[in-house]
Amino acid sequence: MSFTVELIICALVLLGGLFALLGSIGVLKMSDFYTRLHAPTLAATVGMGSLLIASIIAFTVREQRLSAHELLITLFVMITAPVTAHMLAKVALHQRQQSVANTRNKALTEKIRKRLPPE
């Protein structure tokens, strides 16, 4: 493995680890559920994405043939992440979880729960 390829893989691996960590820090430190919901998106998109690209490059170089099956995981995570986020938000609304005090348009919450138009 040449030095530049190794350097690229190292950078991608570290970026992926960093974004996984950032997503989890967000889940831990945010003050209400609705803001916490945003944090795992970091881990699901750039975090997983850069790790999987690093894996593709590493195995392609090592085995001297294209190894792209990691893209399948990226695809799967990218498709399921919005679905789980939507379901979790529905659960929080259903259980009448309170959003943090400085949330703007807080009056909309009840309308959203009943799926009514805003007016």
Rule CB under 8 A: which of 80-119 touch another protein? 80-95, 97, 99-100, 102-106, 108-109, 112-113, 115-118
Q: Which of residues 56-85 bind another protein (CB under 8 A)?
A: 58-59, 62-63, 67-73, 75-85
Write out the two tokens for 118: 């805003």
Provide the minimum distance between the beta carbon of 86 and another protein in the complex, in angstroms, as a whole number.
Answer: 6
Residue 64 or 76: the one with the smaller Cβ distance to another protein is: 76
Provide the minimum distance between the beta carbon of 80 and another protein in the complex, in angstroms, as a whole number.
Answer: 4
* 3-class DSSP state of 32: coil
For residues 34 and 31, what is the distance between their CA atoms, to the nearest angstrom? 9
Residue 64 or 69: the one with the smaller Cβ distance to another protein is: 69
Which DSSP symbol is given to 100? P
Residue 105 CA to chain centroid, in angstroms? 25
